[in-house]
Amino acid sequence: MPMIRKHQLTAAVNKYVNVNLAFRLLYDRNVHVKRQIKEALAIGLTYNFF
């Protein structure tokens, strides 16, 4: 049975910039003895026209 852990961290840097960090850990002893890690970093801009 695989073990999957997902974590997500979202932060507002200032009025216009947001940062999102996602982390996933996959561990399945039947497939591979080592852990597999996936990380993603996203930076977003927010702007209002009106």
What is the distance between the alpha carbons of residues 24 and 4, in angstroms, rounded to a whole number? Answer: 7
CA dihedral (45, 48, 49, 50) in degrees, to 10, reads 180
Residue 50 is assigned to a structural domain of this protein: no
21 domain-assigned: yes
pLDDT at 21: 97
What's the domain count of the chain? 1
What's the pLDDT at 22? Answer: 97
User: What is the pLDDT at residue 41?
Assistant: 97
In a domain, 16, yes or no: yes
Residues 7-50: pLDDT tens digits? 999 999 999 999 999 999 998 888 777 888 999 999 999 888 88
Q: Which domain holds residue 35?
A: 3-45
| Single pTM value for the model | 0.69
**What is the three-state SS of the chain?**
CCEEEEEEEEEECCCCEEEEEEEEEEECCCCCCCCEEEEEEEEEECCCCC
